[in-house]
Every structure is written in structure tokens, then in C-alpha cells.
Amino acid sequence: MIGIADMVAFKLLVTRTTARNVGAGIAEALNESAESLALDFAGIQGFTPSFFDELLHSMGELSQSHGRDLLLELANPPAELSSVHEAIARAHGLRITEADGGSWLIGPP
Amino acid sequence: MFDILKEKGVAIDDRDVPGGGTERLILPLTDLESEYQVEKVANDVIDGLTGSGLGASNIYQVVADAFAELALNAVQHSESEVGAFGYIQYRESANGPRFICAVADGGIGIRRSLERNPALLARVPYDWVAIEVAMQERVSGTQDPTRGMGLFSVVEEVRKAQRQLLIQSGIGVLQIGEELQSQARRTKLFPGTLAYASIPG
């Protein structure tokens, strides 16, 4: 599980630049053989749709560099799953669902 | 407005002007210069709201998100020579408490911004049409297919009961009212773009 709060200066994540920085931090922390990726948003109060959009873009690039689709889990998401998040995932060719524990699971449809 | 001017040292005689009384500035009129500053301001807003005890705490995130997305649009796309400005206010009214988020710039406007994308050129003949198009999913003047979610997300949030959004750009204006009706029309010129969201507290 990769903690996001340690990578950022703010509790509300707003910009695409911040998302790209988070993406770079994840790439550094990710094991080469990993097939799934768990991100822990504990300590984060929220993120904007723009941040989430760019984060999925960065994860897409990471999947490409690994040569496989990475299944993404967002633990302790700081927002309620909404139609906007679903639309953003859809635009990246992904499907987003909410697990029983509240985590978001993101992967191919 | 008088309070802002007074804070800046301007002498104001407001003895015959009815006082706001039930209004609180969450974010005073602020010059929005960069994306980083928008992110910092949005975080300050969340911290300020959390300590304020105003309204319902579960709405703070909605307020901060709406302001941040509107402010990012102004900073990223307006090309405004006079910059962009925004404020957030909490207001008690006859219809109950509301958070007001407003962002304005003196830039090229939504229609000219969308015209930067050749694929959109034929779809935005008028300012009021351009505002409607800009509210749709994945519409952006950047030609980047992964962009164009910011204003769409604000509209999706506003399309919930009792919320309002007004966007004026050039000679176009679009309003989404409390009854969720949406109306775009021609209006008097605003030399830039003005966005105003009203969210029940």
C-alpha cells in the first residue's frame, strides 16, 4: 500500500501538477513485477476531478511502461464515488466500482 | 465590498447603507495568479471552513472543489491580462444559508478559448452556445482528449437540489437555477468570464 499523504504538501489535492508528482512518486515506489497497485489516501481531505483525471492518466502511462493493465485500488478515498468519477474513469477506458470496505477498485471494464 | 475597501484603508461613508450583518467572507477577494496558488487557496478555504462552524461540514468539500475548478479554468485558459480574481462568501438569506463562490477574469472568454481547438470551431458560433458546449464532458480548447472535466464536474455538482450556477462570458450567459432548469441566452457584454456558484450551506 502506497501512502499518498507523505508525497504531497496539501490535504486537498487540486492540480494536475500535483497529480503528476504523485504519479512520479508511485512509479518510484512500484515493484516492477506488480500487477496491482494500492494507494492509501488516509490523511487526504479531498481531491478535485482534475486531480483524479490526471492521476488516472499517470497510472495509464505506468501501465504502459509495465506492459500490462494495472488494477488500481484507492483505499480511504476522500470523496464519495460520483457520476463525475465514473465519467473520468470511463474516458480512460476504465471502470470504477466501490468495494464493501469503501475502497475504489479501478480496472478494465 | 465596503469591508474589503475599508481593510485596504479606503475611507467609506456607509452610514445609510444597510449592513450585510449575516454575511461572512470565507475568502476575501483574491488575485489568482497560478495553479499552485489556487491549490494553496483551496486548502486555506477548507481549513478556514473547518474552523468556522458555518453551515454543514459535509458541504465544505463541495464548496472548495467548485471554487478550485472555476479558479483553475480562469488561471489556465483565460489569457487574461488583468489576471483572475475570486472570493467565497457565506450568506444567510430568506431561503437559508448559502455559500457563494465567484471567479472572474478579463480574458478571451469561453468561445475564443474553445476556438483554439479546431474540432470545436463549428460548434461554438456564439458566446452563449460556447458556454453550453464547455459544460459538456471532455470539451476543452486544449485539443488534449484527457482534458475538459473541470467545468463539467462543477455543473454535475450544481445539478443537485437548490444549487445555482451562473456563467457569463462575452455576450453570453448561462444559468442553472434551483429548479435545475438551464437557460443560455445573449446578454450585455462582460469583457472576460464570470462564474458564480451558490450552494446551500
Q: What is the pLDDT of residues B53-111, one digit of tens each?
A: 899 998 999 999 999 999 999 999 999 999 999 999 999 888 889 999 999 999 999 99
Return the pLDDT at A14: 96
pLDDT per position as a tens digit, A17-65: 999 999 999 988 877 777 788 999 999 999 999 999 999 999 988 888 8
- Cell (9 digits) for B119: 474540432
The CA distance from B18 to B98, in Å, is 20
Mean pLDDT on B126-141: 92
Of B42, B72, B153, which is closest to A84 when you measure between CB atoms? B153
Nearest Cα of chain B lies from the Cα of A34 at a distance, in angstroms, of 26
Residue B129 has pLDDT above 60, yes or no: yes
Residue B137 has pLDDT above 90, yes or no: no
Q: DSSP letter for A103, please.
A: -
B18 — pLDDT class (breaks 50, 70, 90) = low
- The residue in chain B having the minimum alpha-carbon distance to the alpha carbon of residue A92 is B146
Helix (H, G, I), strand (E, B) or coil at A65: helix
Q: How confident is the prediction for chain A on average, in pLDDT?
A: 91
- The string of DSSP codes covering chain B is -HHHHHHTT-----TTSPP--SEEEEEEEEEE--HHHHHHHHHHHHHHHHHH--S-GGGHHHHHHHHHHHHHHHHHH---TT-EEEEEEEEEETTEEEEEEEEEE-SSHHHHHHTTSGGGGGG-SSHHHHHHHHTSTT--TT--TT---HHHHHHHHHSSTT-EEEEEEEEEEEEE-TT--EEEEEEEEEEEEEEEEEEE-
Q: Which residue has the cell 468556522?
A: B52
Residue B173 sits at the vertex; the CA angle it makes with B191 and B186, to the nearest 5 degrees, is 90
- Cell (9 digits) for A30: 512500484
Return the pLDDT at A95: 94
* H or E segment and range at residue A14: none
Q: Which of residues 148-187 of B touch A (CB under 8 A)?
A: 149-150, 152-153, 156-157
The CA distance from B3 to B22, in Å, is 13
pLDDT per position as a tens digit, A58-107: 998 888 888 878 889 999 999 999 999 999 999 888 999 999 999 999 99
- The residue in chain A having the minimum alpha-carbon distance to the alpha carbon of residue B138 is A91
Using a 10 angstrom Cβ sphere, with 0-12 exposed, 13-18 middle and 19 or more buried, the burial of residue B125 is exposed
- The residue in chain B having the minimum alpha-carbon distance to the alpha carbon of residue A50 is B150
